[in-house]
Structure 1
Amino acid sequence: MKAHAVRVALFAAVSVATLGLAFAQDPAPATPAPAAAGPGALSDELPVPDAPSITGTAWLVMDHATGQVLAGENVDERVEPASITKVMTSYVIAAEMAAGKISADDDVMMTVNAWRTGGAGTDGSYSGFEVNKTAKLIEMEKGMTVQSGNDAAIALAEHIAGSEEAFASLMNAYAARLGMKDTNFQNATGLSAPEHYSTARDLAKLGSAMARDFPEHYAYNAIKEYTVGPITQRNRNVLLWRDQSVDGIKTGHHSGAGYCLMASAKRGDQRLVSVVMGSTSEAQRATDSQALLNWGFRFYETHQLYAAEEVVATQKVWKGQANEISLGVAEPLLVSMQRGKYSKLQPSMDVPRTLVAPLEKGQAVGKVRVMLDGKLVAEAPLVALEAVPEAGFFKRLWHELLMWWQSL
């Protein structure tokens, strides 16, 4: 009778443990808190209209926080970036300065080569720094950024890397770090060259990275005019005068590239980046860029679904000193979506049915996915938010028995 009672008790214990496991193996992630519907929220019944019709060879509008392309055409087609190239030149300058390799107070020589290749005697834009004289690096950078000075870009490249060719190698190395997979730079100016190309998607990544990584240098793009000696030149980005939310970023033009504009604007907490390549005129590139930004802000919004290290779900752990573990995301999980659709988000988890200690903090153990209308809109690795060391011998043995029983 006693043996029978022991068997019944053991069976009951295993059944309870197994039942608990059944509930623990497929935990639902914490549902993001509902967002308050603002005055611009759309009715669920209203579809988002198509993006504006754009004149150009390639174009897009992208959400800065998520990197999601909201609309675009020929976004991965090779194009000549023209003077938008100088955003990459600025990025390299900012990165090298942050690394302590150069200083804003460096004296930069306007060499004969820089003056002849990119100065007033050429057909391109120039800054006006005097040949064979120096200027502070910060002044030269602003002359390049605001006035789109080819001469300043070349002089800065020579100062930083010894030659423009060597500087282009740096540009390509930084571009690779930023995930610009379809880009190759041959110069610091954007003047036409056989293997100097990029794409609308890559250029949007670059503009977004400039705003994110080096906001001080990015801010130079919002300067409306800049004076070098007796010459005062206006920023060619006319959206700076038309739209107070626009704070960058760069125009470009030559015969092979057409008229180009990478623009960026911030309204509230949301930033968008637009890229228009191969447009037909200065006026058209500005009109199209403004239309894309207005459309993106009107019909899309960005939400943080889960904060970094926020508990998304808990999961049972076998053979560990703790019996469960908290799971979350290492980085904030953001999503760009149509306005008025937040309440329809459907989060789900993909985790192993069995988690066995030891588990390290930060260890990836699955994924959290967020669906909207049957489409994946965001996903991120699920990581352990704390470590779970291995349990002692007897607990491990007991859990081994329970795991065996559960597998029958």
Structure 2
Amino acid sequence: MKSRIQSLVLIVLLCLHPVLASAAPQIPAPPQLDAKGYLLIDFNTGQVLADINADERLEPASLTKIMTGYVVFRELAEGNIRLDDQVLVSEKAWRTGGSRMFIEVGTQVSVEDLLKGMIIQSGNDASVALAEHVAGSVEAFANLMNAHARRLGMTNSHFTNPNGLPDPDLYTTARDIARVTIAIIREFPQYYAWYSSRDFTYNDITQPNRNPLLRRDPSADGVKTGYTRAAGYCLVGSAKRDDQRLVSVLMGAPSPNARATSSLALLNYGFRFYESHRLYPAGQPVEHLRVWYGEQEVLSVGPATDVFATIPRGDYGQLSARIERTAELTAPIAVGARIGDLVVDNAGRELTRVPLVALEAVPEGGLVRKAKDHLLRMF
């Protein structure tokens, strides 16, 4: 009773699976891909399923626009700009080379149209116009990009422009690009929907989405291509099948077809050999624990966040969960107080650990309750 660490095994929910599976067959190695670097990650858990040179600094080309989009989405969320803001197109934006939305100098274009022109048409001109509207200049906007990158933990990235045109000080990694991509999907689903648009028309010019995955895989809904001679062919993909979403990042492929087939191979590998489950929803009780010296004797506890697990396909029956708490529970206890961790194991190996919190308050009990609990603890 007085042990400082108590573990309670929770198997009830996880054992609802009809049959306990035997050990799953060994997962084969990921496909061999012709690219400078790549990464495949599960959206819900952050578990990396395949990677090569994921932390090598590489030129991102137009993958830079994923970071540009994130900054603009944050500005929208904070109320600093609006989708219907009319942006005056500068000569600098109009003259920007490479892929274009075909905005014209001196005209006014809405933030929403500029975002679609950047996301769907990969418009370098749209990226510059957005940067100038948000921050006043490309240089000031790049400072915003780097500030958000640091906040997101993108420790191997540095941005100098919003469109990815070559610059010796512009670089990122497959892991960092995956991080900002996941942030967009999680924080801004209403804007992420634009990444699956098949085409966009502006100024009577219709351009298709450059992402080949949208035409090759019905489960794909993003994200962005990129190319410069130095960077090679790049592609960030995301697809959702049932309740599982994967994000792939491929950088430095030798051809457009190679980046498409390699990205699809990565996604198919992940979906074929791994499965992802939400085991416990946030805020739902998983156990009722004894509380001493409180107005009530038991406390409902649950995870502070959704508990997901990414496992080899067929391993569901080998999952188990346990509660680890750091001390016995004594009142008063506030709602949300951390009382330990919910730990999920796969075949005895720790898979994930999530804070376990009090789902209700337990006020301090009266003298009679305290005296009773004191006697119970003595004997």
Does TM, normalized by the shorter one, top 0.5?
yes
Between Structure 1 and Structure 2, whose CA radius of gyration is higher? 1
Q: Hey, what does 2:183 align to over in structure 1? A: 209
Shift of 1:166: 1.4
Q: Hey, what does 2:84 align to over in structure 1? A: 105
CA deviation string 1:85-124 (max 9, x = no partner): 11121122222222222122211122111222x2xxx3x2
Q: Hey, what does 1:145 align to over in structure 2? A: 119
Q: Quick check: 1:50 aligned with 2:6?
A: no
Q: Give the AA of the match of 2:218.
A: Q
CA deviation string 1:194-215 (max 9, x = no partner): 3322221221122222222222
Shift of 1:42: 9.0
Q: Give the AA of the match of 1:129.
A: I
TM-score normalised by length of structure 2: 0.92
Q: 1:163 aligns with which of 137, 147, 161?
A: 137
Kindly indicate whether the alpha-carbon contact (under 8 Å) linking 1:35 and 1:342 is maintained by their aligned counterparts in 2. Answer: no
Q: Quick check: 1:115 aligned with 2:89?
A: no
Q: 1:136 aligns with which of 110, 117, 125?
A: 110
Map of 1:335-374 to 2, 5 A cutoff? Answer: 335-374=309-348
| Alpha-carbon separation, structure 2, partners of 1:91 and 1:35 | 40
Q: Quick check: 1:237 aligned with 2:211?
A: yes
Higher helix share: 1
Identity of aligned residues (%): 46
Which stretch shows the higher mean deviation, 53-62 or 282-291? 53-62
Q: Give the AA of the match of 2:230.
A: G
Q: Hey, what does 2:49 align to over in structure 1? A: 70
Q: Hey, what does 1:28 align to over in structure 2? A: 9
| Alpha-carbon separation, structure 2, partners of 1:195 and 1:135 | 30
| Alpha-carbon separation, structure 2, partners of 1:133 and 1:174 | 30
Shift of 1:278: 1.3
Secondary structure of 2:331 counterpart = coil
Secondary structure of 1:59 counterpart = strand
Shift of 1:144: 1.1
Kindly indicate whether the alpha-carbon contact (under 8 Å) linking 2:239 and 2:267 is maintained by their aligned counterparts in 1. Answer: yes
CA deviation string 1:52-76 (max 9, x = no partner): 1111121111111222211112222
TM-score normalised by length of structure 1: 0.86
Distance 1:54 1:314, change over 3 A: same
CA deviation string 1:293-330 (max 9, x = no partner): 11111111111111112222222222222222122112
Q: Give the AA of the match of 1:44.
A: A
Which stretch shows the higher mean deviation, 333-342 or 29-38? 29-38
Shift of 1:290: 0.3
Q: Hey, what does 1:300 align to over in structure 2? A: 274
Shift of 1:395: 3.5
Kindly indicate whether the alpha-carbon contact (under 8 Å) linking 1:182 and 1:199 is maintained by their aligned counterparts in 2. Answer: yes
| Alpha-carbon separation, structure 2, partners of 1:27 and 1:230 | 65
| Alpha-carbon separation, structure 2, partners of 1:26 and 1:160 | 52
Kindly indicate whether the alpha-carbon contact (under 8 Å) linking 1:61 and 1:296 is maintained by their aligned counterparts in 2. Answer: yes
Map of 1:227-306 to 2, 5 A cutoff? Answer: 227-306=201-280
| Alpha-carbon separation, structure 2, partners of 1:36 and 1:393 | 46
Secondary structure of 2:246 counterpart = strand
Kindly indicate whether the alpha-carbon contact (under 8 Å) linking 1:28 and 1:313 is maintained by their aligned counterparts in 2. Answer: no
* Structure 1: segments with no counterpart, 5+ residues: 1-17
Secondary structure of 1:54 counterpart = coil
Instruction: State how many pairs are aligned.
Output: 378
Root mean square deviation of aligned Cα = 2.4
Which stretch shows the higher mean deviation, 314-323 or 277-286? 314-323
Shift of 1:334: 0.6
CA deviation string 1:334-353 (max 9, x = no partner): 11111110010121221134
Q: Quick check: 1:327 aligned with 2:301?
A: yes
Shift of 1:280: 1.1
Shift of 1:153: 0.2
Higher strand share: 2
Distance 1:347 1:33, change over 3 A: closer
Q: Quick check: 1:392 aligned with 2:350?
A: no
* Structure 2: segments with no counterpart, 5+ residues: none
